[in-house]
Amino acid sequence: MARPVEGSPRRALVLLVASGIALAGIVTLVAAWLSIGVTALDAGRVQTEPCLVAYEAGTHDAAVRYTAFPPQSLCTWTVDGSPREVVVASSPPAVVAAGLTAAVLGGAAVVVVGVLGRRR
C-alpha cells in the first residue's frame, strides 16, 4: 500500500510560488548576461568603436572584459599614453537588481519553508 503524502497543501503552494520566483530571478539574470554578450559581439562585428577596432586588429594594449555585477562589457585600451575604458554593452541596473532580489528571496523562502516543514 502506498504511503500517504505528508504536509499541507498550503506548504506545497508556498514552495511552488517561492521556487517559481527564484527561477524567474535566475532566468532574468541569465538573460541580462547573455544580452550583454550578444550586444558586445554585434558591436565587434560592426566595429564602430575605436577600441574594438584596435582589439580586433590585435593591438597588444586593447582588451575586452566582462563584469558580472554590474553586468557590462568593457573595452580598455591606451591612447597617447593614457588608458581609456569604454562601456560596450550593459544591462539596466534595475533589471539586474530585481532578478537578484527575486533569486535570493525565492531561494531563501524555499529553504526556510523546506527546513521548517521537516522539523514539524
pLDDT score recorded for residue 119: 62
The per-residue pLDDT for 64 is 87
CA–CA distance, 24 with 1 (Å, rounded to integer):
38
Supply the pLDDT for residue 62.
Answer: 86
Q: Give residue 30's pLDDT.
A: 94
C-alpha cell at 6: 505528508
Residues ≥6 apart with Cβ < 8 Å to 42: none
pLDDT at residue 39, as a whole number = 87
The pLDDT value recorded for residue 40 is: 84
Average pLDDT along the chain, 120 residues, taken 10 residues at a time: 66 92 96 90 80 80 86 88 88 93 96 77
